[in-house]
Structure 1
Amino acid sequence: MDPSPAPGADPRGLRGEVLRLAVPAFLALVAEPLFLLADSAIVGYLGTSSLAGLGVASGVLLTAVNIFVFLAYGTTAVVARRLGAGDERGALTAGVDGLWLSLVLGVLAALVVWVWAEPLVAIFGATPDATAEAVTYLRVSALGIPPMLLVLAATGVLRGLQDTRTPLIVAVAGFTTNAALSLLLVHGVGWGIAGAAWGTVVAQTGMAVALVVVVIRGASRFGASLGFATAGVLRSALDGIPLLVRTLSLRAVLLITTWVAAGLGEPELAAHQVAITVWSALTFALDALAIAAQALTGKSLGAGEVEDTHAVTWLMVRWGVWFGLVLTALILLLHRIIPLGFSSDPEVRAALAAALVVVAVVQPVSGVAFVLDGVLIGAGDARWLAVAQTVFLVVYLPMALALKAVGVVGVTGLVWLWVAFGAFMAVRAAGLVWRARGDAWLITGATR
């Protein structure tokens, strides 16, 4: 059977369904990396050491939070399947279990990051000034990890219920609050890099409260239990292990990349911090299609609609490629302008401009990888993803280590580092295409 539908085919108005979910998800996902973009722009004018320190601290913080992204992705798939099977109460019960799990994991992760901030930062081998700034930012930001994980879990529940509009509204409010507070606390009050961290903590806490309230109201309406159900929370944790492995492999790639960048020189590390943040913003934009894929794939497989699952998969892959090409053109057009907003250091600007060229070229490949990753997560194909992402990491590791061993530094080293990262994305996309063209992941029903 050919999994690709005929060009132009749109059974049951799937384009409209994709757009209804993807457009708000796109806007919300663009708002999320703007937390770091705002901090990068505000902290960048404190000096190169502060910006480099933010780069290291962000690498640790994002790892501490994003390794638990299964709280959103796994919850979306489970809730959407049960919704597709007509079990709204069961869907919200699973969602509440995810919220409790996120709170437990958030508190534990915050304690680890706060206690081990110095050794975690020291791993990157940055300069003493950059290291000191990183530790300051990380210790304050640790307080925001529990609300960050609650935001992930609550967002996953709402996406599974086919609601991406509410997370958008909350994300926009959170970004606005974060930008205003960071600017005030860093440059107005004079708290330096700690002010940027406090602004993010306050904003994330407000977002968590708003989203949890929405989920609790929905659960109460359908009679779902709000209490801590040990069996349900444990089930959520066990179901999340394969996605945790998948995410750890992805985060390992990003951490290894930052580790190599730390040895290229302080201006190059600062440039890499902005480049990886821009890349995150772009891939989160592409991930909007993946969010729609998770929600629609879970719902359609829960309802037993395999044909619709195939159709929406390849529709979104085509859209991912075209969207990636648009982003390529946009970044190439702006690659010398973007650095002006993040640093006054000419070395940082030159290195960033060069890295952004590679970032731009990778976007169409990223579009394919992110869409198919979302499809397979929505289908509950987490075990295959865990194994595959580990293999992709093993393929990338020799490339990164070779760059470290050769000792290439400066702008040239940064460009080659991003070329290696682009090769990783290409390998990842190829593997996901191979899996999606088969039928082993197409399992129907309320549970996988």
Structure 2
Amino acid sequence: MTLTPQPPTVRSSAASFTQITALALPALVVLAAEPIFLLIDTAVVGHLGAVPLAALAIGAIMLAVAGWVGAVLAYGTTARAARKFGSGDRAAAVAEGVQGTWLALGASFILFAIVQAAAGPIASAFTGDPEVAQAAALWMRIAAFGLPSLLLISAGQGWMRGVQDTKTPMRFVLIAFLVAAILTPTLVYPVGLGLPGSAIANVVAQTIAGVLFLRALRRENVNLRPQVWLLRKQLIANRDLLVRGLAMQACFLSAAAVAGHVSTASLAAHQIGLQLWMFASLALDAVAIAGQALIGAQLGARSRNGAIATAKKLTWIGLAYGGIFLALMLALSPVLPYAFSSDPAVWVQMNHIFLWMIVLMPVAGVVFALDGVLIGAGDLAFMRNMTVAAAVFGWLPFTWATPAFGWGLFGIWAGLAAFMVIRLVLILLRLRGGHWAVVGAQRA
């Protein structure tokens, strides 16, 4: 069965709340599924002790890097596909997804080879505890078998969002999530595999979803062969997103390395806090996904005024959405540490994180919504420059200064706060200027 969403009609006004919700709610399910699974994984492994939890924290860095590569593929594909879709050329939109899928396969095999060859040294770089490093390296080598499917999932979501179909990815990801949610505790405890059981559950769930996304692409009846000229265009378009992602990864990796050398309890608490932050971030990103699809389609349909009006509406929706998450985090903060660890030392370290996480929710709601607007518009050079500036002048200085001044997790997360505030200021200035709204089937 062929997916059949049709190109939108040209609108000179903002997209309706119904349109935004129809795209954002299924995207929310997809975005929330992976971090929820990681939270389940963290809770399951956390009760094995601080060492397995710290090992999972290091292993999760590999998934974060793969997720970053996948996000580059998905966001770049969505922006290009949405413009083609908005101009009335669905076949060209899906063709972007085909080439994105080939890029995903190529990138996944490179990542797989790196992990298998260097898992030991990578793990040792993030901890001074040999036991933690050994457990993390084993987890990474097993979980790496799911990398091809993980990137296929990202590429599939990219082109489907571009043609404004967020319901099909939701169904595929929910199937994989349910499999993982059952397998993880089963393999870790009753089967008795411990920490490696969580890695195996990752691989099985990711493989199922990857196959489903490939089947959906085949049903589109388009040319599935790699096209060098289109691959080259995608690589050029993704270059700015890649640099943007590198800046973010430098921040995440630095934070994990510093936390790991403070103490095992500090790294374990950082893992819990980071997974909660990623869950909130990806859930808030649902508005950004709607923004990517709608803004790209409106600009592709040459509706500049409609795109600007939609961007303003998304700003207010993002702020309200962030406020909801602030209230949820505030309500749950007294009990969350105990849900993810039974180690009192980890509970103490968690106290240094929650204040920052709570107050950043409204900021994150606006920033992520407008990230989606500018990515949908293809304003990728600005996104690159903004993120690099926020990393260099915000998060990294705080993180690197933490060991010298003994700030611990408080300093690392203060850096995250600076990173987000700098992005907020710069992206609001960009939105106000209006230079991002370039119309046409592709951005010049």
Q: TM > 0.5 between the two? A: yes
Determine the C-alpha separation between the residues in 2 that align with 1:304 and 1:32: 35
Determine the C-alpha separation between the residues in 1 that align with 2:389 and 2:378: 19
Determine the C-alpha separation between the residues in 2 that align with 1:434 and 1:341: 40
Determine the C-alpha separation between the residues in 2 that align with 1:434 and 1:12: 20
C-alpha displacement at 1:332, in angstroms? 1.3
Determine the C-alpha separation between the residues in 1 that align with 2:120 and 2:135: 11
C-alpha displacement at 1:238, in angstroms? 2.1
C-alpha displacement at 1:126, in angstroms? 3.9
Determine the C-alpha separation between the residues in 2 that align with 1:98 and 1:29: 19
* 1:138 aligned to which of 120, 123, 140: 140
Residue 192 of structure 1 is matched in structure 2 by 194
Alpha-carbon distance change, 323 to 385 in structure 1, aligned in 2, over 3 angstroms:
same
Determine the C-alpha separation between the residues in 1 that align with 2:333 and 2:34: 21
- Residue 437 (structure 1) aligned with residue 432 (structure 2): yes
C-alpha displacement at 1:328, in angstroms? 1.0
Residue 153 of structure 1 is matched in structure 2 by 155
Q: Is contact 2:398–2:414 with CA below 8 Å preserved after alignment? A: no
User: Within 5 A, what are the aligned runs for 1:28-67?
Assistant: 28-67=30-69
Determine the C-alpha separation between the residues in 2 that align with 1:391 and 1:53: 31
Determine the C-alpha separation between the residues in 2 that align with 1:12 and 1:285: 23
Q: Kindly provide the amino acid, as one letter, of the partner of residue 280 in structure 1.
A: M
Q: Deviations over 1:67-101 (max 9, x none)?
A: 34111001001111000001111111111111111
Residue 410 of structure 2 is matched in structure 1 by 415
User: Within 5 A, what are the aligned runs for 1:29-428?
Assistant: 29-218=31-220, 220=221, 224-396=222-394, 397-408=396-407, 413-428=408-423
Q: Is contact 1:60–1:121 with CA below 8 Å preserved after alignment? A: no
C-alpha displacement at 1:108, in angstroms? 1.0
Q: Kindly provide the amino acid, as one letter, of the partner of residue 418 in structure 2.
A: A
* 224-233 or 68-77, larger mean C-alpha shift: 224-233
- SS of residue in 2 equivalent to 1:437: helix
Determine the C-alpha separation between the residues in 1 that align with 2:86 and 2:45: 46
Q: Deviations over 1:301-339 (max 9, x none)?
A: 000111111111111111111111111111111112111
Determine the C-alpha separation between the residues in 2 that align with 1:27 and 1:208: 17
Q: Kindly provide the amino acid, as one letter, of the partner of residue 350 in structure 2.
A: L
Alpha-carbon distance change, 435 to 12 in structure 1, aligned in 2, over 3 angstroms:
closer
Q: Deviations over 1:94-134 (max 9, x none)?
A: 11111111111111111111211111112213422211111
Q: Deviations over 1:38-71 (max 9, x none)?
A: 2101111111100011111112331133134111
Q: Kindly provide the amino acid, as one letter, of the partner of residue 33 in structure 1.
A: P
Q: Kindly provide the amino acid, as one letter, of the partner of residue 166 in structure 1.
A: T
Determine the C-alpha separation between the residues in 2 that align with 1:166 and 1:325: 29
Determine the C-alpha separation between the residues in 1 that align with 2:170 and 2:187: 25
Stretches of structure 1 that go unaligned for 5 or more consecutive residues are 1-9
C-alpha displacement at 1:284, in angstroms? 0.5
Q: Kindly provide the amino acid, as one letter, of the partner of residue 45 in structure 1.
A: H
- SS of residue in 2 equivalent to 1:225: coil
Q: Is contact 1:57–1:135 with CA below 8 Å preserved after alignment? A: yes
Q: Kindly provide the amino acid, as one letter, of the partner of residue 217 in structure 1.
A: R
Q: Deviations over 1:118-171 (max 9, x none)?
A: 111122134222111111111111111111000000000100010111111111
Q: Is contact 2:82–2:300 with CA below 8 Å preserved after alignment? A: yes
- Residue 24 (structure 1) aligned with residue 19 (structure 2): no
Residue 6 of structure 2 is matched in structure 1 by none
- SS of residue in 2 equivalent to 1:263: helix
**Runs of at least 4 residues off by over 3 Å:** 10-13
Determine the C-alpha separation between the residues in 2 that align with 1:406 and 1:354: 15
Q: Is contact 1:65–1:145 with CA below 8 Å preserved after alignment? A: no
Q: Kindly provide the amino acid, as one letter, of the partner of residue 297 in structure 2.
A: K
Determine the C-alpha separation between the residues in 2 that align with 1:361 and 1:441: 29
Q: Deviations over 1:382-427 (max 9, x none)?
A: 122112211111112222111122133xxxx222321221121111
Q: Deviations over 1:222-251 (max 9, x none)?
A: xx2111222222222222111111111112
Q: Is contact 1:389–1:428 with CA below 8 Å preserved after alignment? A: yes
- SS of residue in 2 equivalent to 1:441: coil
Determine the C-alpha separation between the residues in 2 that align with 1:105 and 1:88: 26
Residue 3 of structure 2 is matched in structure 1 by none
Determine the C-alpha separation between the residues in 2 that align with 1:415 and 1:266: 16
* 279-288 or 418-427, larger mean C-alpha shift: 418-427
C-alpha displacement at 1:439, in angstroms? 2.1
Q: TM-score, normalised by structure 1?
A: 0.93
- SS of residue in 1 equivalent to 2:411: helix
Work out the percentage of aligned pairs sharing the same amino acid.
37
Q: Is contact 1:97–1:232 with CA below 8 Å preserved after alignment? A: yes
* 283-292 or 207-216, larger mean C-alpha shift: 207-216
The RMSD of aligned alpha carbons is: 1.4
Determine the C-alpha separation between the residues in 2 that align with 1:140 and 1:120: 15
Determine the C-alpha separation between the residues in 2 that align with 1:247 and 1:387: 11
Determine the C-alpha separation between the residues in 2 that align with 1:168 and 1:264: 39
C-alpha displacement at 1:290, in angstroms? 0.4
